[in-house]
Structure 1
Amino acid sequence: MAKIMRQFLKDGDLCPSIRGIFSNKLIPCSVRQLREGEILWHDNEPHPYCYLIERGMIKLHVINRDGKEKVLFYYTNGSLLGFQSLSKEKMTMTTATAILPTRLYVTEFALFYNFILENPEYLSALTSYIFHHMAIEAEEIVNISIYSAAERLAALFVLLAEEYPENSRGEVVIPFKNEDLAAMIGACRNSVSNALSAFNKDELIVRQRGSVTITDLKRLKEYAL
């Protein structure tokens, strides 16, 4: 199977020079700690800030007309948020929520933007990052139309396994509920439940309330390839 499910923007996807703007405090910035479930910003509110995730995970989501949550994207270590302020509309259409304890850098977007305009090498890095982000979103649209929910879920587990350490038995615990996993791969909850049942039967995972334990990551990788 082709490369799929690069849904997370990771450290290697963001030019180190952009990270250095924050970590070296080339512009005024502060550090913020978010608890699991804490909201970073709400929809329909002014959004004048830019963020870089040092560690943790943020989901970008909206509520549809039926009152159901739709997850648009997940961001993890090294991801940049807030470049959407480049658009003319400054009011946000999304909500950003920490789904893990998260530590991030915060600065005013105007300071960040002025800095990169004055330093072409950083502007080039940001442009590359935005195009990379667009390519990932386009790839996800293709993946949903080509690959089954089980294939996408297996690939997602392989990707998530990079974020969580193995325990003493060589297992990886993925702390997400079925509805969270369904949102991540753009599938319905029943499709995810069926895929998990098949993985459990093949002894690739163990299903638990509110989480999934990967017991055979090697075979799961073969399933996702």
Structure 2
Amino acid sequence: MPLVINLKRKKRTKEWYLIYLDDGHEILSYIDFIIKFKIKTGKQLTQEQIDEIKSSSELIFAKEIAYKFLSSKPRTQKEVEERLRQKGVNENIISRVVEEIKNYGFINDLEYARSFVFDRARSKTVGKFALKQALLAKGISNEIIDQVLSERENVVDEFEIALALANRKLKQIKSSKKKKRDKNEQKRKIYEFLARRGFDWDVINSVIRRIFNDFKFEN
């Protein structure tokens, strides 16, 4: 059986220790297992004890990482999983930790998506396509995205948001000291601006018709 040749507390922690064994291995252990198995220099450990220390300590370690990561602001399931992978946690443990956190309500992709969408709805600066792309990048499912964007349509007028943005952009274009642009160039600039903001073609088309009273514009 491996023999403990050294035991050191990790720097800046009170609960974590490194156990050094005479076979060259070292084990990260939570303090509970130091106490449970009365570990000290000269102590022999069975393989069962070593396995328990490793698996249980890794689970505790992963939970600490996850809860600390969530303490600053809400996160999606994908963000938490990626954080744990960055810290070297294995997939088995990641699944267990994420499932526990979800059960406690600390990860909720639906509520995250709602908050994300309606926070940006108040700012009135982007369209639904941009919102969808941002949520997809955060690992939110298409089903949840479709649901929250559908909810958004009941309280947000996409056309009015795009129209306000386009009018401000048009003022900038007209007041620019650079070369004056003809109407078709102005339309093109408005189109490109709204497309970058994530508005779809139907909305952009309607906005340009409203502003210019016609739509003789080649994309």
TM-score per shorter chain, which class?
under 0.3
TM-score of the aligned structures, taking structure 2 as reference length: 0.25
Higher helix share: 2
Structure with max Cα Rg: 2
Higher relative contact order (CA 8 A, sep 6+): 1
